[in-house]
C-alpha cells in the first residue's frame, strides 16, 4: 500500500467502525471489538486480544473469564454491561496486523498490479477485504482492475450482509464510489499531455473522503468521464455528507 494510504487507513477505518475497547455485537449479531475486529466465532478469533478487568486494569483476565464475557455479549446483546477491556495499543496492533493480512489477500487476488493501483483503490479493496466483502466479488473486479477501469469497477465495490443487503452499508458503499472516482480523476490527470499545474497527478496520494475530487464542469454539464486539459479539479471533505447517509 502506498505510504500516504498506509499512514491514514486506521483513522479512515475508525470513521466507519468506531474505536471500542469492549466487546459488542455488530449488525449481524457477531461479537466484535476495536475497529471492527471480529471475535466471532470465539474458537477461531476470540484470542486475538488480551483482556483486562475494567475496574482493575492491571489484572489480566483468564481464558474462562474472556469466554464468559463473549458468551454474555453474544446472548444478551447490548443489554449486557461488559466487565473486560482491551488496551488501545493492543487494538491498534491487532488492526495493523489484520490490515497486513488483508493487503496480502488483495495481492493474491490481483497480483502485483495491486501495488500500482491508485492509493484510493488500494484502500477500497483493503477495506472490502477487512469487512469480508471482497472474496465474493474479486472475480468480477479482476478484469476491470486489470484494465484500470476504476469507474466500471464501482459496480462491484460494495459491502452487503444477509440481513440488510447493501442498505446496511450505505455510508461505506457511497464512500467506495467516491474513492473510485478519485482514482479515475487523478490517474486521468496524470496522463494529460499538458495538465493544469494545480491538477492532482500523483496516484500514490490518498485523497479519501477528506479531499474527495470533483471536476467543476460536472456541476453544470452532463457527466463526461473524460478529463480535459482545461478542467478545474476541486477537492472537498464529504464526511458531513457521508454521515447523513443512513
Sequence spans of domains, the chain = 9-90, 117-243
The alpha-helical segments, DSSP class H, found in 154-246 are 170-190, 239-243
∠ Cα 188 13 62 (to 5°): 155
Helix (H, G, I), strand (E, B) or coil at 37: strand
Q: How many residues does the chain have?
A: 246
Along the 246 residues of the chain, how does pLDDT read in single tens digits? 999 999 999 999 999 999 999 999 988 889 999 999 999 999 999 999 999 999 999 999 999 999 999 999 999 866 789 999 999 999 999 999 999 999 999 999 999 999 999 999 999 999 999 998 999 999 999 999 999 999 999 999 999 987 778 888 999 999 999 999 999 999 999 999 988 888 999 999 999 999 999 999 998 888 889 999 999 999 999 999 999 987
| Cβ contact 115:126 at 8 Å | no
pLDDT at 132: 87
Q: Are strands 212-215 and 233-236 parallel, antiparallel or unpaired?
A: antiparallel
Task: Give the integer Cα–Cα distance in Å for 105 and 220.
Answer: 41
pLDDT at 223: 81
Amino acid at each position: 500500500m502506498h505510504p500516504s494510504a498506509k499512514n491514514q487507513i486506521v483513522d479512515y477505518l475508525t470513521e466507519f467502525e468506531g474505536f471500542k475497547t469492549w466487546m459488542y455485537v455488530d449488525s449481524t449479531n457477531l461479537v466484535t471489538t476495536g475497529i471492527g475486529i471480529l471475535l466471532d466465532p470465539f474458537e477461531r478469533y476470540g484470542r486475538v486480544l488480551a483482556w483486562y478487568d475494567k475496574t482493575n486494569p492491571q489484572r489480566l483476565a483468564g481464558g474462562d473469564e474472556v469466554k464468559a464475557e463473549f458468551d454474555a455479549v453474544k446472548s444478551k446483546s447490548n443489554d449486557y454491561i461488559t466487565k473486560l477491556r482491551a488496551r488501545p495499543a493492543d487494538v491498534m496492533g491487532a488492526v495493523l496486523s489484520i490490515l497486513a493480512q488483508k493487503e496480502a489477500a488483495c495481492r493474491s487476488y490481483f497480483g502485483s498490479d495491486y501495488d500500482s493501483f491508485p492509493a484510493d483503490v488500494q484502500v477500497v479493496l483493503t477495506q472490502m477485504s477487512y469487512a469480508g466483502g471482497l472474496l465474493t466479488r474479486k472475480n468480477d473486479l479482476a478484469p476491470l482492475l486489470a484494465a484500470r477501469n476504476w469507474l466500471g469497477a464501482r459496480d462491484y465495490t460494495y459491502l452487503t450482509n444477509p440481513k440488510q443487503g447493501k442498505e446496511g452499508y450505505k455510508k461505506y458503499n457511497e464512500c467506495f464510489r467516491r474513492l473510485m472516482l478519485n482514482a479515475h480523476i487523478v490517474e486521468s490527470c496524470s496522463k494529460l499531455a499538458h495538465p493544469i499545474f494545480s491538477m492532482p497527478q500523483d496516484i500514490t496520494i490518498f485523497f479519501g473522503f477528506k479531499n474527495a475530487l470533483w471536476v467543476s464542469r460536472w456541476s453544470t454539464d452532463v457527466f463526461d468521464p473524460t478529463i480535459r486539459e482545461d478542467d478545474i479539479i476541486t477537492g472537498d471533505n464529504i464526511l458531513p455528507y457521508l454521515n447523513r447517509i443512513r
